[in-house]
Amino acid sequence: MLRALAPTHLVVNVDENRLEDVEAAREFVPNVVVTHPVAPGDNVALFAAFGEAFDCRARAGALADEFQAALASVADAMHGIAREPVLYLIWRKPWMTVSRETYVSASLALVGWDTVPAEARVRYPRIEEDDAAWHEARRILLSSEPYAFRERDAREMRERHGKPVALVDGEWTSWYGVRAIDGLEALARMRLTTAREFRP
| Tens-place pLDDT, residues 114-126 | 999 999 999 999 9
d(CA 87, CA 47): 30
Q: Give the pLDDT score at 143.
A: 98
Q: Give the pLDDT score at 197.
A: 63
Do residue 60 and residue 102 come from a single domain?
no
Do residue 90 and residue 163 come from a single domain?
yes
Mean pLDDT for the chain? 94
pLDDT score of 37 more than 80: yes
Instruction: Examine residue 85 and state whether it is found in any structural domain, yes or no.
Output: yes
Instruction: Examine residue 33 and state whether it is found in any structural domain, yes or no.
Output: yes
| Residue span of the structural domain in which 71 resides | 2-76
What mean pLDDT is predicted for residues 120-139? Answer: 96
Do residue 184 and residue 151 come from a single domain?
yes
pLDDT in tens, 41-57: 999 999 999 999 999 99
Count of CB atoms situated within 10 Å of the CB of 121: 7
Count of CB atoms situated within 10 Å of the CB of 99: 17
Instruction: Examine residue 200 and state whether it is found in any structural domain, yes or no.
Output: no
What mean pLDDT is predicted for residues 141-165? Answer: 97
What is the reported pTM?
Answer: 0.91
Last residue of some domain: 57, 76, 95? Answer: 76
pLDDT score of 104 more than 90: yes
Do residue 72 and residue 86 come from a single domain?
no
Q: Choose the weakest-confidence range: 1-5, 84-88, 136-140, 193-197.
A: 193-197
Q: Give the pLDDT score at 198.
A: 52
